[in-house]
Structure 1
């Protein structure tokens, strides 16, 4: 398979914690890591996905926001348009801000050839027009929300449960920070700061003398305020974020678990309620722990992350068991065809896990990022960048009837509630900031993405390396040192949780660190030495096809297995199995599975081929159940292991629903 190799220039500076001191999680003190400065993704799998976003998805944003009414609503707020508010939700503005953030990160990349230069100029022009519209819509006191300004609702900050004013403010602030970092311009940052100042003057504890003691029903402004503090140095923004985080769980929104108002975060022992809201709140807690050294808050974030991963996370990294209220279910309640796994929830999980990885230095958080990125998140965007999934089920049954709404199992051009598409855009446009980090000891590679990354020594001296890999299709990662000081420093490589065998060599010499077991307890393989420019480290991760089983408490998939290879989860689709559906397909786990390179399929993938059969079932009667003794006699179904043989072809889960509509499943029964 051919891979892209062109190299863009350095993008905008990523998020950098303002503090860089020891942080204690439980009994373990660590130095918080900082994301790499000016990372560059230069080729391979993620370069291709980002190029699709840059060439297709982001340029379509202004037209889609126009047709959906988002820009019209801002014109209403600015007094530049007439007519009714368009859209059903008070958070229509947030889609505009998420698109502005994505476009800002994109402007931080070098133009992709002559076509890219023209596209960049067009993108910048659209952005300036929309930023000017946002500025015109803002009230003199700094307030900004087109829903309430156009006469909808009861008035500003009178419906914190559903009004989403602070949620929208959060996305505005994040867009402004990205725009400032990417372009150096402060036009949007000034708008965001005026709104943040208005919020700061409005919200506070009763003894602060401020008029409102409350929180938004949808967390988001909290992480944004931390970013605004990092960008401006204004401590009051950080303090305001801390105020909001600690006000959840005290009944200000009716005490509902849906919006994390049942138990204070510091006391909570499990994730609950609306998945996106819960994870945005936890991301803010991790940010605050990093900036303030709040051990209790950091420990709570770690405790809730572990509870989520152990009992409420799907194989794909997706979270959210219920379509109703888009929330976490009970422990081990992980359905297949009714899995919600909202794309935005996958993004929130990645954001939370990345902050925990930086806070603690533990690789397990980046293990979950990898799983979610390649599977639960990436499935949300079609291969051509034109269509989207709001929910990401792990099974679509034979004869599935599509609902035709935002909860459809079919890809859609846009949504009535269009939170997911621009959210995908902003994450992919900023993905380079999730790849590597430094804690002063050298460089940590959290994800394996071809590109150029920077670390630094404890003296602040720069280190530059180039990473070249065909991951996830191949397991070889080559790291070449480009520039470094003449002193010892450490190159730390994450050994993924799924990896059982790997080899390591430096300048062609096998390392004594090579082993057939997991590395150090925290998941890192560390190579410390005096490096010189031109040194090349080669890490080979073994990528066998694996069959995995779920915890037996996950009732929905008991007796089933799923197929994985490297970081990828696989699924079978009806389009690859003519002659019937998939509800009656059984995998024979005793037969070997083989990986097959298919450059002609789905943009170039490695498929997995296995053997199975279709059960010979009796025609449906008036009652779909049977006595166990009847089944054993074969009155209704064939004995285990018999039926029509079928060759099963599994494709990466992220690529499903890109051909014809049909059934799909990740978990396959074995008898």
Structure 2
């Protein structure tokens, strides 16, 4: 063990070998971005104080931690339902590590070290780490197969567990500079690389993420075999001879695992939406690091397919509950929408990498839509309960097995709560990016950061009340007068674009233009891939002011989405709205919003942790008499629904009486 630690320490202390290829744009690390806002900082603190401690306690109470203790003893019975339950501990450690980097906590750090001891003791001498087998190899989980890796292509999740271990280990090392978890990950990754590869075992991992994890391990350790194995796993897809390509069942033709075709030939998002998002993220990593344009072309086509044909209006993906998967093109039902929270998280990972590859704002437009709507809807405002799925419509007269009506504190398959625990504290890392002397501002969050431009220190201070207000302020503080370019994302929604495709559109043109001033004077700027480029000689405390028009937008769906014909959704800034029963006389399925409806806004600090609501006088069908009546209407941010009890909810509203429900409440 001492030898292993020494090797890792030497590896980490040395600079990575010069790389010919990588992302053209580099993100500014989350540890250097200090948030001071009223939207994301409270969520990060709730995650620290409520979500992460609760996740650790539930890992204890449900037997997930006991599985590691039993594996260390090599006796007992696997005590939870799924062979991937190990990952809930890994993901929570990852989230706690991100949080430690922002808010050091000796007590929490000691607790994590304690867990790492259990993990180390459960690891087999050659590096294998999979409690579902190690506890008792003669009586393994039915998904696991009699031998190691036997059912990896299907449901064993051995490599999936490994991938989350690697992601946690890198986060823990970066936060604490300790190598105790990284040592475990290195030992496991070395085993994986010795088993899989050309001339060795061939498999396309059944649940992707090991590819992303291996790339992170490569970046930290410099071990080229990690990158090579990640690339190998991607190239193995579409090579398995056991699938029937003529079978329409995605379980039979490999599409469920994205294994139906070689990745370079794939053009459509298919199969399990979380697995798909992790795969596409890894493909972006490999394309960047190897310069493989054929991989890049593939994910460009798949991205266009998702954004143009397979994404809900609030940024969620994965419409079909049977298989937690993408449906056919334009198959986006409202009543049975699945929209797994983990799929939203994987969509954020993927779009971030697409931005790093291409430098176009449209990827952050999608990321922002997902982040502010279909992702954070997955966690309650107190951080203690969760949605696995995220509904688009709740009515009193329709029930479906795939629809959650209230959040739960935990699930037998609890991937979503622990995934949220690791995503939320990483948000500061999405705010800024840099390419040479170009500094990108991608998200609008009160914060300050320090970076280096042309070997010169530059501080950026961002001030705003986003997402409720469109006034943005950026103070530039270079150590000396310095010429460089600031690239500020002008969101698609501020340029009359609902999404970067024709899948959804705004029904009216924007009235107010985007304005930009420098030191109080209107400035000329150029637009480059959706960014306002301001290049000048910056002096200490130069101030940029951007005014994004916060108009209330009516969103209409493309004609291919026949279910939404004659209906509108509502959006203001990045926030997509919904109506909830509690604000609208007990029902939402009876509402319709005529085209001439006039909306007003009001910020309500005491409602749902502080939200801007939309108000109007609309028409409704009286649920007792069936008569059309006028009624006060209130819409709240979609992410905030289901925090006040159970009842009806709607995102899409008919504009005429024929599209509204006419049911009597019982």
Query: TM-score, structure 2 length as denominator?
Result: 0.88
Displacement after TM superposition at 1:390 (Å): 0.3
Distance 1:48 1:613 in 2: 37
Corresponding residue number in structure 2 for 1:480: 475
Contact between 2:554 and 2:568, CA under 8 Å: does it hold in 1? yes
Work out which of the residue numbers 40, 44, 47 in structure 2 matches 1:50: 44
1:391-470 → structure 2 map (5 Å cutoff): 391-401=389-399, 403=401, 408-457=404-453, 459-470=454-465
Displacement after TM superposition at 1:164 (Å): 0.4
Corresponding residue number in structure 2 for 1:576: 583
Corresponding residue number in structure 1 for 2:262: 264
Corresponding residue number in structure 2 for 1:544: 551
Contact between 1:442 and 1:463, CA under 8 Å: does it hold in 2? no
Per-residue CA deviation, residues 42-67 of structure 1 (Å, 9 max, x unaligned), is: 22311111111111111222211011
Contact between 1:397 and 1:583, CA under 8 Å: does it hold in 2? yes
Per-residue CA deviation, residues 532-551 of structure 1 (Å, 9 max, x unaligned), is: 11111111111011111011
Contact between 1:445 and 1:494, CA under 8 Å: does it hold in 2? yes
Contact between 1:337 and 1:396, CA under 8 Å: does it hold in 2? yes
Corresponding residue number in structure 2 for 1:135: 120
Corresponding residue number in structure 2 for 1:251: 240
Corresponding residue number in structure 2 for 1:71: 65
Per-residue CA deviation, residues 277-319 of structure 1 (Å, 9 max, x unaligned), is: 1110000010111111111111211221111100000011100
Distance 1:340 1:653 in 2: 15
1:297-308 → structure 2 map (5 Å cutoff): 297-308=295-306
Corresponding residue number in structure 2 for 1:309: 307
Is 1:471–2:466 an aligned residue pair? yes
Contact between 1:552 and 1:558, CA under 8 Å: does it hold in 2? yes
Displacement after TM superposition at 1:616 (Å): 5.5
Distance 1:133 1:20 in 2: 36
Distance 2:16 2:311 in 1: 28
Is 1:105–2:90 an aligned residue pair? no
Corresponding residue number in structure 1 for 2:151: 159
Corresponding residue number in structure 2 for 1:526: 533
Corresponding residue number in structure 2 for 1:511: 523
Contact between 1:398 and 1:582, CA under 8 Å: does it hold in 2? no
Contact between 1:378 and 1:654, CA under 8 Å: does it hold in 2? yes
Distance 1:588 1:466 in 2: 43
Displacement after TM superposition at 1:401 (Å): 4.4
Following TM superposition, the consecutive aligned residue runs of length 4 or more in structure 1 with deviations greater than 6 angstroms are 16-23
Contact between 2:478 and 2:538, CA under 8 Å: does it hold in 1? no
1:329-348 → structure 2 map (5 Å cutoff): 329-348=327-346
Distance 1:250 1:552, change over 3 A: same
Distance 1:320 1:181 in 2: 32
Which SS does the other structure have where 1:108 is aligned? helix
Distance 1:293 1:582 in 2: 51
Distance 1:460 1:265, change over 3 A: farther
Displacement after TM superposition at 1:22 (Å): 7.4
Corresponding residue number in structure 1 for 2:183: 190
Corresponding residue number in structure 2 for 1:220: 209
1:324-403 → structure 2 map (5 Å cutoff): 324-401=322-399, 403=401
Which SS does the other structure have where 1:520 is aligned? strand
Distance 1:395 1:21, change over 3 A: farther
Distance 1:425 1:63 in 2: 13
Displacement after TM superposition at 1:361 (Å): 0.7
Is 1:592–2:598 an aligned residue pair? yes
Contact between 1:371 and 1:567, CA under 8 Å: does it hold in 2? yes
Displacement after TM superposition at 1:583 (Å): 1.8
Contact between 2:390 and 2:404, CA under 8 Å: does it hold in 1? no
Which SS does the other structure have where 1:549 is aligned? strand
Displacement after TM superposition at 1:72 (Å): 1.2
Which SS does the other structure have where 2:102 is aligned? coil
Distance 1:186 1:407 in 2: 42
Displacement after TM superposition at 1:188 (Å): 0.2
Which SS does the other structure have where 2:472 is aligned? strand
Corresponding residue number in structure 2 for 1:116: none
RMSD across aligned positions (CA): 2.1
Distance 1:36 1:490 in 2: 19
Which SS does the other structure have where 1:658 is aligned? coil
Displacement after TM superposition at 1:83 (Å): 4.1
Distance 2:429 2:16 in 1: 13
Query: Which blocks of at least 5 consecutive residues in structure 1 are unaligned?
Result: 1-12, 24-29, 112-119, 514-518, 620-636
Distance 1:17 1:47 in 2: 33
Distance 1:74 1:386 in 2: 25
Contact between 1:353 and 1:366, CA under 8 Å: does it hold in 2? yes
Distance 2:18 2:372 in 1: 31
Query: Which blocks of at least 5 consecutive residues in structure 2 are unaligned?
Result: 1-11, 244-252, 496-512, 657-666
Distance 1:314 1:402, change over 3 A: closer
1:83-102 → structure 2 map (5 Å cutoff): 83-102=76-95
Per-residue CA deviation, residues 112-146 of structure 1 (Å, 9 max, x unaligned), is: xxxxxxxx222112201111100000000000011
Which SS does the other structure have where 1:156 is aligned? coil
Count of residue pairs brought into register by the alignment: 608
Displacement after TM superposition at 1:469 (Å): 1.3
Displacement after TM superposition at 1:351 (Å): 0.1
Contact between 1:20 and 1:32, CA under 8 Å: does it hold in 2? no
Distance 2:480 2:303 in 1: 37
Distance 2:196 2:403 in 1: 35
Contact between 2:473 and 2:544, CA under 8 Å: does it hold in 1? yes
Is 1:491–2:498 an aligned residue pair? no
Displacement after TM superposition at 1:34 (Å): 3.7
